[in-house]
Each structure stands twice: as structure tokens, then as C-alpha cells.
Homo-oligomer: A and B are copies of this chain.
Amino acid sequence: MLSVAVVPYLPYRPTSVAHGRVSCSTCSVRRACLPHSLAESPDVLDKLAYARKRVKVDDVLYRMGSPFESLYAVRTGFFESRTAVADGREQVTGFHMPGDIVGMDGLANGVHAAVVIAIAEAEVCVIPRARLEDQDVQRHVHGAMTREIGRAHDMMLALGTLRAEERLAAFLVGFSQRMRSLGYARDDFNVRMSRLAIGSYLGLSLETVCRMLGRLRDAGLITVKQKRICIVDLPRLRSVCGITEARRKADLSLRTREA
């Protein structure tokens, strides 16, 4: 059983700190982090930048129940967010990569509904709540929110209608897309998260994740070697998961042009 202690309403202890004003204009993930329109004007960028924060592996960015203080733009590293139901069961509700904005689960109630943990050495930009008043920042956050709504709906769809194999295929395709949009290879990557985390995210047991990976491997769509996964036949992998053609296209239009 996973054991992430839930300590509601406790101010998160600063994990590792590197505070001080910084600029987004030099950020490596600027393009991914900001809409192109904003990326042009440096003065807008600097409104976003406030402070950076380092988070070590397995350290907590914020806890479930802690008051909402700020959003975080992931600069480097990798996060995982979990939410819990009453009896201790909990689910991974998202993986967050450079360019993502994290913390929106606290917007609705002023209290975070999830706990966010670094699963790779990470650095984030802090966007304090007060800064959300700003017009340009708000527009930016607004965009992140619409994308989050879309992502959540896709997830509902996957959890509600897709079968284990399809969910996993969809997960891999999505992961591949995001990796590529960050400039990494899209057909050969390390999934940092454990089978347990993937399973939780997809509403499956970790054993099923293994089995379905095995099935996809046997079908010649991927190769699997522990955390390293290579996509051998992306088109066929796409055809496995029942992602809407229209939606997929729309998704791609958010990224750079298809190769």
C-alpha cells in the first residue's frame, strides 16, 4: 500500500530553496511553457517569473489539504500528483513534465485536493496567487486551465470506455507526443514512473500494466526493458487506442508540425 501521509492544512515545509527574482526569458522550456504570443514580449515574461524552487526526488511540492498559495510552472524534472478517497485508497491523477503548470487543483476551493511529488530532480517557477490578478498572467493560466479540462475529459473517456490494452496504448502515445514536444525522441524513452503509478493513473493494477505491455510487445508494437520503452510501430499503436481522429489532430495542432 502506498503511504503518503495526509496532513491537512499544514503549511508545506519548504523543501529545497533557491529563491530570488528570475527571468523566464532565459528559460529552456519557454516555448513549451508559454504561448507563442506571450513569448515574444520579455516584460510579460518577467511578470510570471518570481522565484524558483528546487525539489528533490520524492519530495513534496505541496500537500493535500494545504492552502492554495501559488501555481508552479515546471522548468525541469518530473512530477506526479495523487488524490485520495476516504478509506486510504488513492490515485495518481497526473504526471507533470517541463512546461506544465501545476497546482490548479487548489484553485476551486483554495485548498489543494492533491499532493504533488517529484519523481525526478526538479525545478519549478513559483507563480504566487497575487500574481494571478495580472491580465497577461491570467490569460496564460487560462490557457493552461482549458488544456487541463481537455486532458481531464480525455482521461474520463479513457477510464470509462477503453479497455486495459487500449488505455495503455493511449498512455504511451500521449507520453510519446509530450516527449517529442519537449525535444526528446518520441520512440525511445524512459518512463520514470513505476508500473504501480502508471496502473493507478490508468485505473489498472500494476500486474495488468505488465501484462498489457507484454501483449503490446508480443504484437511487435513496442519493446520493453524495465523502464525503457521503445515504440516500434507508432501508427499501429495509435490504431490500438480508440482516440478520435479529429481530437488527435487537434491535439497535434498544439505542437509543432507533424514530421
Contacts and interface: CB of A to CB of B under 8 A. Distances in A.
B109 A250 contact: yes
Contacts of A108: 146-147, 149-150, 250
A159 to B, nearest CB: 4
User: How many copies are assembled?
Assistant: 2
A246 B156 contact: no
B149 A104 contact: yes
B145 A242 contact: no
Given A86-B245, A91-B161, A109 B156 contact: no
A251 B111 CA distance: 11
Interface string A76-97: 0000000111110111010000
A253 interface: yes
27 contacts: A8-B246, A64-B246, A84-B244, A85-B161, A85-B244, A86-B242, A89-B161, A89-B242, A91-B160, A104-B146, A105-B150, A108-B147, A108-B149, A109-B250, A111-B246, A113-B150, A113-B153, A113-B247, A114-B153, A142-B142, A142-B145, A145-B146, A149-B149, A152-B152, A152-B155, A156-B159, A160-B203
Interface of A: 8, 64-65, 83-87, 89-91, 93, 104-105, 107-109, 111, 113-114, 138, 142, 145-150, 152-153, 155-157, 159-162, 200-203, 242-247, 250-251, 253-254
